[in-house]
Structure 1
Amino acid sequence: MRVAVLSLIESAGDEPDVLRGYLPIGGRSILRHQIGLALSLGCKRIVVMAEAISGELVAMQHAAERGGAQFHVIATARMLAPLLLPDDDVFVLGDGLLVMPDAAREMLDAGPVVLTLPVETALPLGFERIDINYAFAAAMRFPGRVAAGLAELPPEWNVQSALLRLAAQARIAHRGVPASLLNDGRWNIVRTEAEAHRVERQWLNLHTTKSSAGSATPGERLTTLIVRRLGPAMLHAGTRPALAGVAAGAVGLLGGGLGWLGHFAIGFLLLGLGWMVERVASLLGQIERNSLLVSGSARRGVAIFHLLIDAGFVTLATWRCELPPGHGWPWGAAAFAPVLLIGMMRLVPLALANRPWSRWLEDRLLTGCVLAIVSIFLPFDAAVALAVLGLLGTCLFALQFEGSSPNPRLTSEA
């Protein structure tokens, strides 16, 4: 069985009443982040060294049990010894350690190891010295039989230091943590509230790097900026992704209502804004899943919400249509061009997935802004029709004359 040993002992800086493990990062404590990491490592038993049980520890117990792990809170090294069987695979994470889960898994998955850092770099950052050259990087893995010596130690011994000494006596291999993990914030010891605020910004930036990549659309870039700037305040205030998703739905409904009243430009803008708020909710949810394992799957209903936003655009564009009534137009004629427009905006990114610009057609904030401008300044029906023809022509040209295939993995040259 894989077992994680965590610690909730060290005080945060000069404040004895605040513990390192309770310092918040993204609205959740560091210890909660470590439990998420332990679950991602496949640990089925999680042991927390703590002097007292608190309401937050009870909540963490529920989170661990939902993840399929047993949860224990103990106070001394002697109490830990019976929980570590000889055949167990033990992971130890230091008090206040905050790491990106993928980096930790890469370093620990190779087998029994004591992770180290150069002493001149690590000591000022709060890591514990091992010898004259190396410091303990606050994470290690070893067989459970190594911990048998805990029962013979005095009760006042620090458990992490004791396990580190036992691992050294068992000659567990050392492995250096790359300096790049320290430099970009993927490996940290958080000791004070000031450090927690600094590290929290790095943590959010790391989790949103892909969303701000070079091919990101304007709406995605703005979403990332909002999460980076306002994400900490939102998360500390208890704004969970589901609540942000409800807000997105409310904004979308408001846009539809204003469009029904004839305020089409504002309606288009609000539909785009509702899409962006949902993107913020999805990004916050993705961060929580990646770092905390608060949910086993992505938030449900996102695809349906996007379909509803597109249906809102079609509806508002239909209401905005300038076809004169009573001239023999068939029923639904006003919706024909808007349906084709949204359909082409969904089709082109699928057919031309290898074209970075095609992703811009999925940006509904951009769609709302463009439709609002067209609604105010241009002949709306003519502009929509030209947009449909432009997208169709671009797609056909790219597929026919540029050698692109909508399904390149299933095609081959004869």
Structure 2
Amino acid sequence: MDAAAEEPSGLRGHLPIGGRSVLRHQVGLALAFGCARIVVQAEALTGELVALQHVAESAGARFHVIPTARALVPLVSPEDELLVLADGLLAVPEDALRLLNDGPVILTMPVETGLAAGFERIDINHASAGAMRLPGRVVAGLGELPPEWSPASALLRIAVQAGVPQRDIPFAFIDQGRWRLIRSEDEAHRAEPGWLRLHTIGAHRRSPGEMLAGIAVQKIGPALLHAGTRPYIVTIASFALGVLGVGAGWFGSATIGFALLALCWLVAECAALLARVERASLLASARMAPTGAAFALLLDAGFVALCAWRSELADISGVAAALRLFAPLVLMLTLRLVPAVCAARDWTSWLSDRFLCGIGLAVLSAIGPFDAVLRMVVLALLAGTLLDASAVGRRTANAASTIRE
């Protein structure tokens, strides 16, 4: 790592992206690549580097801090392979691993694009892309260079002279912000929203609640992560909202309870997205991300309980509690079964959206005949599913008939 140009006493690797330093992202990439030894050039061992040492050693790798490029020579044998990452390089891990997976290579880009992005020139046509996989034998050449040379620049020159193959990275990686060099705090702030967006936009068509959670993470996610708010803290907040929602329903405020359960699901989705960002950046496991079956069942049970407490049947003496539970129980089971039966349909993602469900029930609780409309919704869902299944069956039968003919 070299000193950042705009901060002579600092290191680009210490610039934060998503609440973690760029160097922390690079350590995650190196560990995913299978590196057994991680070497960082820095003038002194700082608290940040000590924390990274713990991360590396907990993953079974050795961690070294060296003051000059020459100090790298005794750490690498000719039989080793070397993964070299430029100071400040931030790349989507899956892209980097795929490009570096096929043996020794110098990743490059067109010189105009590379110089504008802050990368180092190789020749008249190419600039370095900031990542190389090199044979260990090239490290011996560092001993012949002045000590003030940075390891990355020196190894780049030695590798080019040794004839290591070069490969351009796809331009889309640069255009989409999947591969960039972070050189200052301003660049880090500008890059962060796009970095989060890369890891929070799903490939499937999303429901309104999922889209809202994605927008929330993109807007306030950087502030949460920089404040040290990890996904499990957001998870605890979602559980607290769920408890408050059930409590509100118990004390007769079912409308507020439904709204709180909707927020509970939304906050849980935000926690899951933040955990996805950490997984995708190879930073941490998604501990306590409330996306499992147990959380979903508890939330649905909360909706059933609130519906039963809100039911007009509660005002009629002698009505069994099981009768009040029947319609909401069938509703939640239908919302679970229909997406499983019609999995290929885009609209079924809306039925799994408990934010939409909670807001709808809150509105119905506030202004409508609750029990009657609830039963109508159940019948409409069942009828729609049967019609859809029937249409699919007819299309399949027609296709089979056409093939036989």
Residues in 1 aligned to 2:204 and 2:279: alpha-carbon distance in whole angstroms: 24
Match of 1:250 among 234, 240, 262: 240
RMSD of Structure 2 on Structure 1 (CA)? 2.0
- The SS at the match of 1:52 is coil
Residues in 2 aligned to 1:277 and 1:296: alpha-carbon distance in whole angstroms: 15
1:84 and 1:144 in contact (8 A); partners too: yes
Match of 1:178 in 2: 170
Residues in 2 aligned to 1:217 and 1:65: alpha-carbon distance in whole angstroms: 41
Partner amino acid, structure 2, of 1:131: D
Unaligned runs of 5+ in 2: 396-402
**TM-score, with length taken from structure 2:** 0.93
| Cα shift readout 1:245-265 (whole Å, capped 9, x = no counterpart) | 011111111111111111111
Percent of paired sites with the same residue: 53
| Cα shift readout 1:66-95 (whole Å, capped 9, x = no counterpart) | 223221111122221122122222110000
Partner amino acid, structure 2, of 1:109: N
Match of 2:84 in 1: 92
Residues in 2 aligned to 1:310 and 1:139: alpha-carbon distance in whole angstroms: 48
- The SS at the match of 1:72 is strand
- The SS at the match of 2:393 is coil
Q: Check 1:151–1:404 CA distance in 2 against 1; reply closer, same or farther (3 A cut).
A: farther
Q: Check 1:338–1:193 CA distance in 2 against 1; reply closer, same or farther (3 A cut).
A: same
Match of 2:329 among 331, 339, 356: 339
Match of 2:309 in 1: 319
1:150 and 1:162 in contact (8 A); partners too: yes
Q: Check 1:163–1:120 CA distance in 2 against 1; reply closer, same or farther (3 A cut).
A: same
Please say if 1:219 is aligned against 2:209. yes
Residues in 1 aligned to 2:59 and 2:159: alpha-carbon distance in whole angstroms: 28
1:98 and 1:188 in contact (8 A); partners too: yes
Match of 1:113 among 84, 98, 105: 105
2:268 and 2:289 in contact (8 A); partners too: no
Residues in 1 aligned to 2:60 and 2:342: alpha-carbon distance in whole angstroms: 42
Q: CA deviation at 1:325?
A: 5.8
Q: CA deviation at 1:298?
A: 7.5
- The SS at the match of 1:402 is helix
Unaligned runs of 5+ in 1: 1-6, 406-412
Residues in 1 aligned to 2:394 and 2:337: alpha-carbon distance in whole angstroms: 15
Match of 1:38 among 12, 16, 30: 30
1:286 and 1:298 in contact (8 A); partners too: no
Residues in 2 aligned to 1:300 and 1:51: alpha-carbon distance in whole angstroms: 42
| Cα shift readout 1:361-391 (whole Å, capped 9, x = no counterpart) | 1111100111011112221111111122222
Match of 1:103 in 2: 95
Count of matched residue positions in the alignment of Structure 1 and Structure 2: 397
2:339 and 2:352 in contact (8 A); partners too: yes
| Cα shift readout 1:263-300 (whole Å, capped 9, x = no counterpart) | 11111011010110011011001101110331277836
Match of 2:221 in 1: 231
Q: Check 1:155–1:296 CA distance in 2 against 1; reply closer, same or farther (3 A cut).
A: farther
Residues in 2 aligned to 1:166 and 1:325: alpha-carbon distance in whole angstroms: 84
- The SS at the match of 2:239 is helix
Match of 2:186 in 1: 194
Match of 1:149 in 2: 141
Match of 1:81 among 34, 58, 73: 73
Please say if 1:261 is aligned against 2:251. yes
Match of 1:14 in 2: 6
Q: CA deviation at 1:404?
A: 8.7
Q: Check 1:334–1:85 CA distance in 2 against 1; reply closer, same or farther (3 A cut).
A: same
